[in-house]
Amino acid sequence: MTARDRLIEMQQLSGMEEGLRNTRNDSTVVNDNGLADFLESVDSIRHILMTLNMDRESIQNEQEASLAAGCADPHKCRTVNDHSDQFIRQARVVRGRLREATDDLKNYPESGFGTGRARHEQVRTLITSFETIMTKFSEDQTSYKKRASRKVAEYFRKQNIEVTDRQIDHALENGSLFSLTRNINMGVSEKKALFDDVKNRATDIMLIEKHIQDISELFEDLHAMVQQQGETIDRIETSVCNATEYAGRAERDVRAAVQYRQKSYKWKIIICIVLILLVLILLMAAKTFLWPF
């Protein structure tokens, strides 16, 4: 669906069907440049999100290929990390676009009907999609880090050096992982190959840590946008409740006014009847007084 098609659909949802049926339909759509630009921006962000999700799946496949290698392939590790860096950069672009879209919603209050509500719904859908993609990417990175750490542990166990996952994590954090290879009794070339494998895996894991930190920062901004959307919804809900209360009060006032009018009309009739009776009584009394016989 193109931006033009979505514009027409949103205008129909806004109660503008009659305007769309007249002969100046095209000019009405063209003149609403603000809404058309918004929908084009939504389509652009949605396309980036689709690309981002495909990149995530591609990175996951590259990680599987890297872990399946018998030893740490520097080229494969570099490919995974470069692709992950590209993913993070693109995610920051999406984060910026969504931030702008969220801030711009302040100029279009959400209501029960109209394009304002449609704008809010579109942005909420984009934020939800972005959050889903980033959550999956974070899970992929965490899983990759754990499996890469186990690979490092396997290298040492092949040389009958037992190390725990905690020792591996501690060595990675302190940069002392390579010291574990000092007491390995093997040839120079073999020891160098093992050292290179451990080095490549360690570098890979440290880069994964960086990516996870970047994801955490993105999630902080994402949660802020979601919270802002929630506050907007709360304000809208309060406004709707107040409007409902005011409408109910107005309805009660109208009913009371109608009842008062009906009662007033009845009292007017009663007063008229009483006055007529009084006039008749006075006439009869006057007649009796003037002509007693």
Q: What is the pLDDT of residues 75-87, one digit of tens each?
A: 777 888 888 889 8
Provide the H-helix boundaries in the chain. Answer: 3-13, 17-21, 25-31, 33-68, 74-104, 115-157, 165-174, 188-290
pTM above 0.85, yes or no: no
Whether 174 is covered by a domain: the verdict is yes
Whether 282 is covered by a domain: the verdict is no
CATH number at residue 237: 1.20.58.70
Structural domain boundaries, residue 63: 32-249
Total domain count for the chain? 1
What pLDDT band is residue 191 in, cutting at 50, 70 and 90?
low
Contact by Cβ (8 Å): 118, 13: yes
Residue 13 has pLDDT above 60, yes or no: no
Residue 28 has pLDDT above 60, yes or no: no
What local confidence, expressed as pLDDT, does residue 38 receive?
85
Contact by Cβ (8 Å): 7, 39: yes
Least-confidence region, from 58-62, 157-161, 225-229, 235-239: 235-239
Whether 121 is covered by a domain: the verdict is yes
Whether 191 is covered by a domain: the verdict is yes
Using alpha carbons, select from 193, 191, 152 the residue that is nearest to residue 169: 152
CA distance 290 to 293: 9
What angle in degrees, to the nearest 10, is found between the helix axes of 115-157 and 188-290?
160
Q: Is residue 153 packed enough to be buried (19+ CB in 10 Å), middle (13-18) or exposed (0-12)?
A: middle
Q: Which residue has the higher pLDDT, 215 or 179?
A: 215
What local confidence, expressed as pLDDT, does residue 222 receive?
72
CA distance 262 to 268: 10
What local confidence, expressed as pLDDT, does residue 111 receive?
61
Whether 118 is covered by a domain: the verdict is yes
Whether 258 is covered by a domain: the verdict is no
Nearest 5°: the CA angle 181, 187, 188 is 75
pLDDT tens-digit map of 250-292: 666 667 766 767 777 777 777 778 777 777 777 776 666 666 5
What local confidence, expressed as pLDDT, does residue 2 receive?
55
Mean pLDDT of the chain: 71
Residue 115 has pLDDT above 70, yes or no: yes
Q: Which residue has the higher pLDDT, 181 or 143?
A: 143
Say how many C-beta atoms besides its own lie within 10 A of residue 134's C-beta: 21
What local confidence, expressed as pLDDT, does residue 18 receive?
44
The owner of tokens 């990417």 is 137
Residue 27 has pLDDT above 50, yes or no: no
Residue 137 has pLDDT above 70, yes or no: yes
Q: Provide mean pLDDT across the span 53-72.
A: 82
% of residues, the chain, pLDDT over 70: 56
Residue 45 has pLDDT above 80, yes or no: yes
Q: Would residue 291 be called left, alpha or beta, if left means φ above 0 and alpha means ψ between -120 and 50 degrees?
A: beta
% of residues, the chain, pLDDT over 90: 3
Positive or negative torsion for Cα 164, 217, 51, 204: negative
Provide the H-helix boundaries in 158-187. Answer: 165-174
What local confidence, expressed as pLDDT, does residue 21 receive?
44
Whether 157 is covered by a domain: the verdict is yes
CA distance 213 to 207: 10
Whether 81 is covered by a domain: the verdict is yes
Residue 227 has pLDDT above 70, yes or no: no
What local confidence, expressed as pLDDT, does residue 23 receive?
40
Contact by Cβ (8 Å): 88, 221: no
